[in-house]
């Protein structure tokens, strides 16, 4: 560096000099996208006295991405414009900085192509260094884990109890008054509370076997000792069956069959209203009466839904290139070995055969 060059310098270290000075170079403003989809934003600078405005910067923000602004005239107010692929442009810029300390916008109002409203929340966080982070977030976020398509609506009622439902913004649907809907709560300007509604099945059954299976879920009334089939289906490997509605006062049983094994001896208990121990395995029989045991694993999410996984306690991967057969081997006190073919194989094996 030649003499006279400008530099960002930490204080020179001298013997006995213990004070450290820090120079921090950072953006004066950051805008973060906390929406689950990409958005386009523009930051405007407005001269309060001359009532004029000019675009400072703009960009496309992916979910959780941040836009940085490094230079701004502190005598100007800053406005924020946002648009999304499904909604469109805001009605008017949101105020995110004012030189005279005027109240900042807590939300921004967007309109879709049909004139339906969507309100996005704005959150402000100022660091100890003075830079500001503005976060754009949805006041209400719906997580659809149901596996089916849903539509959303705002529901309002008058003094006579008549309910009117209006489709939420960004959906290419029309809804007549009185239609049934999965409704998100209506967003209002200034609404800054973040709430999450999760729509999900109460029970999921996953097939972790290497072949397809047929399953049935039974509901058993503990008091009346009666049972009825709730749902059934064919599950491919790693496929999941969803159950959306169940009476919590009834116990649930699970029946499984495979092309090579057949039906279980009795249903496995996968839910009990009184908290009885659940089945850890299920016992199947093939056409020759040979037994196969399948494992059951339970996982409950923080939302309360249960996933039951059907898995093989032992899985053999045959990479030999030749056909194999499998057997259970037992020996008595004299050392005599008896081999019994494993279930699902159309073979007979004599005692003492090599396997």
Find out whether 141 and 157 touch, Cβ atoms under 8 Å.
no
Determine the Cα–Cα distance for residues 281 and 95; give it in Å rounded to an integer: 61
| Residues with pLDDT less than 70, the chain | 1-26, 48-51, 89, 145-148, 154-159, 161, 163, 165, 167, 169-199, 222, 224, 347-355
Model pLDDT, residue 187: 37
Determine the Cα–Cα distance for residues 174 and 315; give it in Å rounded to an integer: 52
Model pLDDT, residue 180: 36
Find out whether 291 and 284 touch, Cβ atoms under 8 Å.
yes
* CA angle (208 as vertex; 144, 324 as ends), nearest 5: 160
Model pLDDT, residue 20: 58
Q: How many residues would you count in the chain?
A: 355
Burial of 166 (0-12, 13-18, 19+ CB in 10 A): middle
Instruction: Select from 355, 327, 353, 330 the least CA-distant residue to 340.
Output: 327
Model pLDDT, residue 163: 67
Cα distances (angstroms) measured from residue 37 to each of 31, 34, 136, 154, 196: 15, 9, 11, 21, 16
Determine the Cα–Cα distance for residues 131 and 46; give it in Å rounded to an integer: 19
Find out whether 270 and 296 touch, Cβ atoms under 8 Å.
yes
Q: What is the pLDDT of residues 137-175, one digit of tens each?
A: 887 777 776 666 777 776 666 667 676 767 676 666 654
Total Cβ atoms within 10 A of residue 93: 19
Model pLDDT, residue 351: 44
């Amino acid at each position: 560096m030649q003499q006279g060059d400008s530099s960002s310098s930490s204080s020179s270290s001298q013997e006995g000099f213990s004070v450290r000075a820090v120079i921090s170079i950072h953006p004066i403003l950051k805008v973060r996208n906390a929406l689950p989809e990409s958005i386009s934003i523009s930051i405007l600078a407005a001269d309060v006295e001359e009532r004029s405005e000019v675009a400072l910067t703009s960009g496309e923000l992916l979910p959780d991405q941040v836009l940085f602004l490094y230079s701004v005239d502190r005598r100007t107010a800053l406005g924020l414009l946002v648009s999304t692929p499904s909604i469109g442009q805001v009605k008017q810029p949101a105020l995110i900085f004012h030189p005279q300390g005027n109240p900042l916008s807590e939300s921004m109002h967007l309109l879709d192509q049909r004139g339906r409203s969507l309100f996005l929340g704005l959150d402000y966080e100022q660091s100890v260094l003075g830079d500001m982070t503005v976060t754009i977030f949805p006041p209400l976020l719906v997580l659809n884990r149901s596996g089916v398509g849903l539509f959303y609506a705002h529901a309002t009622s008058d003094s006579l109890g008549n309910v009117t439902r209006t489709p939420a913004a960004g959906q290419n649907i029309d809804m007549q008054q009185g239609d049934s809907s999965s409704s998100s709560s209506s967003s209002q300007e200034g609404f800054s509370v973040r709430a999450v509604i999760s729509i999900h099945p109460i029970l999921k059954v996953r097939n972790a076997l290497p072949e397809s299976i047929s399953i049935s879920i039974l509901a058993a009334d503990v008091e009346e000792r009666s049972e009825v089939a709730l749902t059934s289906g064919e599950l491919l490997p790693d496929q999941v069956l969803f159950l959306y509605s169940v009476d919590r006062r009834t116990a649930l049983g699970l029946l499984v069959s495979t092309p090579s094994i057949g039906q279980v001896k009795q249903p496995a208990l996968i839910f009990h209203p009184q908290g009885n121990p659940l089945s850890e395995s299920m016992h199947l029989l093939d056409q020759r009466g040979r037994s196969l045991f399948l494992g059951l694993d339970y996982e409950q999410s923080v939302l309360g839904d249960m996933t039951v996984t059907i898995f093989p306690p032992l899985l053999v991967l045959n990479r030999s290139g030749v056909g194999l057969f499998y057997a259970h081997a037992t020996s008595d006190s004299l050392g005599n070995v008896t081999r019994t073919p494993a279930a699902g194989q159309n073979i007979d094996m004599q005692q003492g055969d090599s396997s």
